Amino acid sequence: MNANDTTRMSGGSMALSRRQFIEELAAIGGTSLAMAGMEALGFGFTSAQAAPPTLAGRGKGVKVVILGAGLAGMTAAYELGKAGYDCQVLEARDFAGGRCQTARRGFKHTDLVGNTQVCDFDEGLYINHGPWRVPYHHRSTLHYIKQFGVPVEVFVNDNDASYVYFEKGNGPLAGKPVRKGMIAADARGYAAEMLAKCAGKGDLDAGLSPEDKEKFIAYLVTDGRLSMKDLGYHGTDGRGYDVHPGAGVDPGPGKPSTPFAFKDVLDSNAWQVLSSVTEYDQQRTMFQPVGGMDQIAKGFVRNLGPVIRYSCEVQKIAQDDRGVEVFYKSANGQGASIKADYCLCTIPLSVLKSIDLAVSDRFKQAMAGVSYAMVNKIGLQMKRRFWEEDHFIYGGHVYNDIRGIGSITFPSTGWMGQKGVILGYYAFGTDAARVSGLKPAERAKFAVQAGQKIFPEYAENFETAFSFSWHLAQYNKGGWADWSQEGRQTAYPILCEPDGRLYLAGEHLSYMPGWQAGAIESAWQQIGKIHARVNAA
Site for a second copy in 142-171 (CB under 8 A): 142, 145-146, 152-154, 156, 158-161, 163
Comparison of 136 and 441: residue with beta carbon closer to a second copy: 136
CB of 195 closer than 8 Å to CB of 220? yes
By CB under 8 A, tell whether 178 contacts a second copy: yes
* Binder of a second copy out of 228, 229, 280, 333 (CB under 8 A): 280
Query: Across the beta sheet with 356-357, what order do the strands follow?
Result: 335-340, 324-329, 313-319, 356-357
**CB closer to a second copy, 255 vs 302:** 255
Binding test (CB under 8 A) with a second copy, winner from 110, 275, 490, 535: 275
Among 460, 484, 486, 490, binds a second copy (CB under 8 A): 460
Of 56, 95, 115, 181, which lies in the binding site for a second copy, with binding defined by CB under 8 A? 181
Contact 278, 203 (CB under 8 A): no
Are the CB atoms for 381 and 87 separated by under 8 Å? no
**Least distance (Å) between residue 323 CB and a second copy:** 24
Nearer to a second copy, 338 or 343 (CB): 343
CB closer to a second copy, 35 vs 427:
35
Find the binding residues for a second copy in span 407-446 (CB under 8 A): 412, 415-416
84 binds a second copy (CB under 8 A): no
Separation in Å, CA 155 to CA 99, 282, 397, 414:
19, 11, 11, 12
What distance in Å separates the CA atoms of residue 97 and residue 296, rounded to the nearest whole number?
Answer: 8
Pairing of strands 420-428, 375-382: antiparallel
> How many beta carbons lie within 10 A of that of residue 87, not counting itself?
26
Stretches 340-348, 360-368, 397-405, 505-513: which one binds a second copy (CB under 8 A)? 505-513
Closest CA to 451 of 169, 163, 172, 173: 163
Closer to a second copy by Cβ: residue 354 or 490: 490
Residue numbers 222-241 binding a second copy by CB under 8 A: 222-225, 236-241
- Which is closer to a second copy, CB of 172 or CB of 437? 172
Question: Among the candidate windows 105-113, 123-131, 301-309, 389-397, which touches a second copy by CB under 8 A?
Answer: 389-397
Least Å distance between CB 260 and a second copy? 7
Nearer to a second copy, 62 or 527 (CB): 527
Q: How far apart are the first and last CA of the chain?
A: 44
Give Cα separations from 48 to 307, 337, 370 (angstroms).
26, 34, 24
Cα-Cα-Cα-Cα dihedral sign, residues 131, 278, 182, 253: negative
CA distance 225 to 235: 7
Contact 40, 25 (CB under 8 A): no
| Local structure of 349: helix, strand or coil | helix
* Separation between Cα atoms, residue 279 and residue 272, nearest integer Å: 13
The residue range among 258-266, 292-300, 349-357, 397-405 that interacts with a second copy, by the rule CB under 8 A, is 258-266
For residue 484, state whether it binds a second copy (rule: CB under 8 A). no
Nearer to a second copy, 107 or 190 (CB): 190
Tell me how many residues contact a second copy (CB under 8 A): 141
- Region binding a second copy by CB under 8 A among candidate stretches 333-341, 360-368, 428-436, 452-460: 452-460
The answer to whether the beta carbons of residues 171 and 262 sit under 8 Å apart is: no
Restricted to residues 315-354, the positions that interact with a second copy (CB under 8 A) are none
* Pattern 102-141, a second copy, x by CB under 8 A: ----------------------------------xx-x--
C-alpha to C-alpha distance for 93 and 501, rounded to whole angstroms:
25
* Residues of this chain, 366-385, that bind a second copy according to CB under 8 A: 384
Sign of CA dihedral 379, 382, 387, 389: positive
